[in-house]
């Protein structure tokens, strides 16, 4: 199976290379701002011409596509940027490409072709405020040795860790290099290589090593994840562990003089703390999702309404520190890598309110109730573990949304639009959704025996 994959490495440049990296990032930002100014000027001219009654081909053409912007840049670069030869031509193309993507996102958002929040019109980038990055797609770039990379116009730059995992695949032809993105995060420069790799996916569960059966994964705040097997993954709370240092750094930054050297130093320290928390969270989530995708044939998770959960001022910090959306995103492609299956339960399925033994439902269960007690069969279980077991049962019922081999969402015929009792924290109040049909008596006995 061919798939796109990225390898990210931290760079260790010298002083001259640091200046070159900053110069290339500034060139990409300059091209972006130049293209945006040209687009806005053309739009203003077009509106003025339309006010005079001009229509059709008489109106000014707006350079909205990447080829049009590249053509205009090549014609004007000698005047607007006489220093352009000091940087790679790919840098300017990368800046214009970022602008085109922003314009496309704006158009798709207005026409309803883009999900999520509405995207506004692109704005100008300011040095020190925008993220420094540029990209190579052509030229002599890529890994030079196992501990260095070659970047056009910058030279051979050392990396902090060996790149054997990438260079080995490129050497034997198992991967093809598509591009390289150089970016700066919290004062450190990174290079990310995008490759097309040929992965060997097991054709059957019997060929997978240590493959277990299906598992339900209930994500939460108290615990990062509770599995239907009884395993509890502790919540590391990386942000909570760094709040003391973060508060001190924030106060020091707020008290510093604007536009001073001290303010830049305090801003850099604040950024390093945020980056450390993000790296810790990313590392823990990758380890968890990789282990689940390798050791289980089927993984069932909930379609949580995270955007609604973070609107709760009491939960916003705890929910944001977990990264629930990242867990589902990583499981989506890792299950395809390792031959397992990801099942996404319906958002309206009351996993915590339903008894995993007999199917009885407790509509009065609240978030404060951490123990589920069944009034029908007498089952007493932890709330999160009961929800994880219910998620595991959805595999047999097939009442779910499944990620197919191509990554698309496929809704089953059993997902019907009927009113249900909303489970706290899974969707907005006052709405209805799909529910799972009642279990048959035989399946209830099978579930209770297990």
The full DSSP string for 380-419 is: EEEHHHHHHHHHHHHHHHT-SEEE-TTS-EEE-TT-EEE-
Which pLDDT score, from 0 to 100, does residue 115 have? 86
Tell me: the pLDDT tens digits for 226-248? 999 989 999 999 999 999 999 99
**Burial class (CB within 10 angstroms; exposed 0-12, middle 13-18, buried 19+) of 115:** exposed
For residues 308 and 358, membership in a common domain is answered with yes
Residues 158 and 71 in one domain: no
Q: How many residues does the chain have?
A: 450
Same domain, 92 and 150: no
In a domain, 251, yes or no: no
Can you read off the two tokens belonging to residue 11? 């760079």
Is 384 considered catalytic here? yes
- For residue 241, is it within any domain? no
In angstroms, the Cα distances linking 357 to 148, 213, 379, 407, 449 are 57, 19, 7, 33, 8
Q: What is the pLDDT of residues 29-74, one digit of tens each?
A: 999 999 999 999 999 998 888 888 777 777 778 899 999 999 999 9
Q: Which domain holds residue 159?
A: 2-7+139-198
> Is the same domain home to 48 and 143?
no
Please report whether residue 134 resides in a domain.
no
Q: Are residues 329 and 230 in the same domain?
A: yes
Say whether pLDDT at 337 is over 50. yes
128 within domain boundaries: no
Pair (301, 166) in one structural domain: no
Which single residue is written with the structure tokens 């995103």?
329
- Please say whether the dihedral angle defined by the alpha carbons of residues 282, 287, 293 and 298, taken in this order, is positive or negative: negative
Mean pLDDT of 9-28: 96
168 and 90 within one domain: no
Same domain, 294 and 407: yes
Q: Is residue 444 part of a domain?
A: yes
User: Tokens at residue 405, please?
Assistant: 């081999």
pLDDT digit string, tens, across residues 67-103 = 999 999 999 999 999 999 999 999 999 999 999 999 9
- Nearest-CA neighbor of 297 among 397, 209, 407, 390? 209
Domain's final residue, options 170, 198, 226: 198
Number of domains in the chain: 3
For residue 33, the number of C-alpha atoms closer than 13 Å in the C-beta half-sphere is 13
Q: Is 400 exposed, middle or buried (0-12, 13-18, 19+ CB in 10 A)?
A: buried
Question: Are 217 and 162 in a shared domain?
Answer: no
Q: Whose CA is closest to 123, among 140, 105, 148?
A: 105
Angle separating helix axes 15-51 and 89-110, nearest 10 degrees: 40
CA atoms of 387 and 235, how far apart (whole Å)? 18
Q: pLDDT band at 209, cuts 50/70/90?
A: low
- Spatial distance between the Cα atoms of 313 and 244, rounded to a whole number of angstroms: 20
Out of 97, 132, 302, 346, the active site residue is 302
Band (307; pLDDT cuts 50, 70, 90): confident
316 backbone dihedrals φ, ψ, rounded to 5°: -60, -45
According to DSSP, the residues that pair with 142 across neighbouring strands are 150
Examine the domain organization and report whether 306 and 360 are in the same domain.
Answer: yes
The pLDDT of residue 359: 87
Residue 381 belongs to some domain of the structure: yes
Q: Are residues 223 and 341 part of one domain?
A: yes
Q: Note whether 183 and 217 are same-domain residues.
A: no
pTM: 0.80
Determine whether 218 is an active site residue. yes
Please identify which of the residues 97, 132, 297, 384 carries the catalytic annotation: 384
Average pLDDT, stretch 111-125? 92
Active-site hit among 218, 321, 403, 423: 218
**Residue 377 resides in a domain:** yes
Q: In sequence order, which residues have a C-beta less than 8 Å from that of residue 285 and are 6 or more positions away? A: 323, 326, 327, 330
Is 117 part of a structural domain of the chain?
no
């Amino acid at each position: 199976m061919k798939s796109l994959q990225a390898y990210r490495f931290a760079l260790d440049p010298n002083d001259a290379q640091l200046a070159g990296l900053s110069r290339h990032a500034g060139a990409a930002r300059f091209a972006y701002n130049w293209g945006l100014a040209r687009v806005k000027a053309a739009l203003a001219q077009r509106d003025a011409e339309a006010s005079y009654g001009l229509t059709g081909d008489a109106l000014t053409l707006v350079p909205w596509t990447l080829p049009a912007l590249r053509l205009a840049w090549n014609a004007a670069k000698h005047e607007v940027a006489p220093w352009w030869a000091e940087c790679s031509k790919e840098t300017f193309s990368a800046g214009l490409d970022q602008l085109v993507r922003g314009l496309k996102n704006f158009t798709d958002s207005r026409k309803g072709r883009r999900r999520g929040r509405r995207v506004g019109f692109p704005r100008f980038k300011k040095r020190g405020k925008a993220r420094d990055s540029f990209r190579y797609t052509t030229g002599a770039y890529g890994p030079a040795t196992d501990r260095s990379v070659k970047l056009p116009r910058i030279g051979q730059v050392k990396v902090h860790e060996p790149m054997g995992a990438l260079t080995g695949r490129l050497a034997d032809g198992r991967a093809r290099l598509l591009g390289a993105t150089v970016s700066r995060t919290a004062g450190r420069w990174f290079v990310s290589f995008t490759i097309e790799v040929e992965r060997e996916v097991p054709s059957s569960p019997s060929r997978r090593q240590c493959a277990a059966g299906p598992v339900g994964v209930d994500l939460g705040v108290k615990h990062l994840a509770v599995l239907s097997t009884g395993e509890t993954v502790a919540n590391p709370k990386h942000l909570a562990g760094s709040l003391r240092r973060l508060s001190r750094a924030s106060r020091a930054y707020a008290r510093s003089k604007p536009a001073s050297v001290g303010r830049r130093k305090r801003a850099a320290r604040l950024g390093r703390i945020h980056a450390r928390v993000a790296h810790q969270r990313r590392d823990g989530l990758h380890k968890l999702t990789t282990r689940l995708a390798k050791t289980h044939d089927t993984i069932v998770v909930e379609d949580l309404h995270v955007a609604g959960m973070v609107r709760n001022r009491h939960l916003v910090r705890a929910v944001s520190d977990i990264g629930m959306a990242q867990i589902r995103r990583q499981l989506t492609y890792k299950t395809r890598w390792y031959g397992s299956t990801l099942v996404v339960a319906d958002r309206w399925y009351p996993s915590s309110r339903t008894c995993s033994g007999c199917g009885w439902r407790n509509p009065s269960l609240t978030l404060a109730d951490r123990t589920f007690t069944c009034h029908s069969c007498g089952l007493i279980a932890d709330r999160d573990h009961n929800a994880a077991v219910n998620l595991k049962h959805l595999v047999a019922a097939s009442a779910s949304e499944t990620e197919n081999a191509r990554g698309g969402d496929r809704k089953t015929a059993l997902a019907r639009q009927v009113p249900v009792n909303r489970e706290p924290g899974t969707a907005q109040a006052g709405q209805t959704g799909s529910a799972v049909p009642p279990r048959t008596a035989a399946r209830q006995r099978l579930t209770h025996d297990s």
